[in-house]
Amino acid sequence: MIKITKLKSGLRVLTIPQQNTRTVTVLVLVGTGSKYEEKRVNGISHFLEHMFFKGTKKRSTPFKIAGPIENAGGVFNAFTSQDLTGYYIKVDAAHLDLALEIVADIFLNSLLAQKEITKEKGVVVEEINMRRDTPMIHVADLLEQFLYGDQPAGWDIAGTKETVQGLTRADILTYVKSQYVAENTLVCVAGNIRENKVREKVRKLFSSISQKNFKEKIGVKEKQEKLRVLLEYRATDQTHIALAARGFNLSHKDRFAQEIIAAILGGGMSSRLFLEIREKLGLAYYISTSSEENPDTGFLATFAGVKNENAKIALKVIIREYRKLARTKVSATELRNAKERIKGRMALSLESSDAKAEFYGIQEILQNRFFTPEQLYDKIEKVKVSDILRVAKKMFVSSNLNLVVLGPFKDKKRFQKILS
């Protein structure tokens, strides 16, 4: 019995019992991320995620936070996206009270000390450097920036070195006050639990949470009239390609067809692009296609790393497979296999308490509702061969394509010609 309860404060509590495990995960999600930021403080959501582990009134140092969790055999971390921020602790079920108490403590009582802010700026700048120096990561970051441009959806989640260095303690305190409030927060507890006891403990531990209104995000502006190409010159031995087609958001009925198309194209070692580009032609070590959906927007993207002189031939194969889906119906067998692949991987991914907490919690914080795996399976099953053809025709037109190339190239026209 998965249950969502809204407390008088406005705080939501999501309980996910799982009796066949010895673990519990406590995950606190806040409905705020980089899309809720102003440009001057871009990266503040991610920076705050780091700061919450630096000390509280009760636990004055990072060690006093990490030590008790690790000494209980637990793990902890946090994450930031464009739309949400999450903090979690996973422990043996015997240490549930410890996990709940520490998560509540860092969430409500972090000191946000100036000396820690100063030190952490250096840490985050090195994280930005690491991402930029890792081509597989950087090409994906470039793609989102290219898709959405100079608006929150197109800004880097981590911010820039300049915006991170410019953050002040006053900026951080103001952001916490405006965003970390009851109506915008979900406490999700999954695993070997007794729901009634968990809800009562959450109510007490989070009784001091702010009940103010939170600042909403600005809507994403999305417009494209012709194909677009972005080249970032790098004197590398390998060219990294990201080819995206604008698609459908989280609530759109065609998101499931988009997910299936991604599985057909590049969702594993038996997918079309893997077989063509890696197995048949030997052009790439990594080649994959993924579907991205969030509350505002969505897209499908293929990523590949190839030898520099093979970049154009690899791109030709990718675009050929895109257009093949838009011209020719997939077979019933291929559609069935793609559906089973998605459903099976979802089932495999949901065996642990932390996976369940994220699966249900992220749905609830983003959409104010959640689907069970069985409900999602049903939606996937309803996608027909004709839906795949219809959605592919809509997505895979030249004017809807966006290409990012990271490698030793300076001439866009050669790539534009392939796409057109």
**190: burial class by Cβ within 10 Å (0-12, 13-18, 19+)?**
buried
* Best CATH choice for the domain 228-419 from the list 3.40.50.460, 3.30.830.10, 3.40.220.10, 3.20.20.70: 3.30.830.10
Q: Is 0.85 surpassed by the pTM of this model?
A: yes
Strand partners, 210: 181
Measuring CA to CA, how many Å separate 329 from each of 150, 171, 233, 397? 38, 53, 38, 16
* Beta strand 185-191 pairing with 12-17: parallel
Q: Which pLDDT does position 278 carry in this prediction?
A: 97
Distance CA 192, CA 385 (A): 41
Q: E-strand spans in 81-136?
A: 85-92
Q: Which pLDDT does position 420 carry in this prediction?
A: 87
| 3 state SS of 408 | coil
CA atoms within 13 A on the CB side of 159: 27
Q: Which pLDDT does position 204 carry in this prediction?
A: 98
Q: What is the pLDDT tens value at each position of the chain, 420 positions in all?
A: 899 999 999 999 999 999 899 999 999 999 999 999 999 999 999 999 999 999 999 999 999 999 999 999 999 999 999 999 999 999 999 999 999 999 999 999 999 999 999 999 999 999 999 999 999 999 999 999 999 999 999 999 999 999 999 999 999 999 999 999 999 999 999 999 999 999 999 999 999 999 999 999 999 999 999 999 999 999 999 999 999 999 999 999 999 999 999 999 999 999 999 999 999 999 999 999 999 999 999 999 999 999 999 999 999 999 999 999 999 999 999 999 999 999 999 999 999 999 999 999 999 999 999 999 999 999 999 999 999 999 999 999 999 999 999 999 999 999 999 998
Domain spans of the chain? 3-205, 228-419
Q: Do domains 3-205 and 228-419 have the same CATH topology?
A: yes
Q: What are phi and psi of 188, to 5 degrees?
A: -115, 125
Q: Do residues 128 and 159 lie in contact, with contact meaning Cβ atoms separated by under 8 Å? A: yes
Sign of the C-alpha dihedral computed for residues 333, 339, 341 and 347 taken in this order: negative
Comparing CA positions, the residue from 237, 258, 261 lying closest to residue 249 is 258
Query: Tokens 């087609």 identify what position?
Result: 245
Check residue 299 and report its DSSP letter.
E
Distance CA 346, CA 24 (A): 20
Q: Look at the domain 3-205 and name its fold.
A: Cytochrome Bc1 Complex; Chain A, domain 1 (3.30.830)
Direct distance between the N- and C-terminal alpha carbons of the chain, in angstroms, rounded to an integer? 52
| 3 state SS of 287 | strand
Distance CA 410, CA 229 (A): 11
Which DSSP string corresponds to 138-170? HHHHHHHHHHH-SSGGGS-TT--HHHHHH--HH
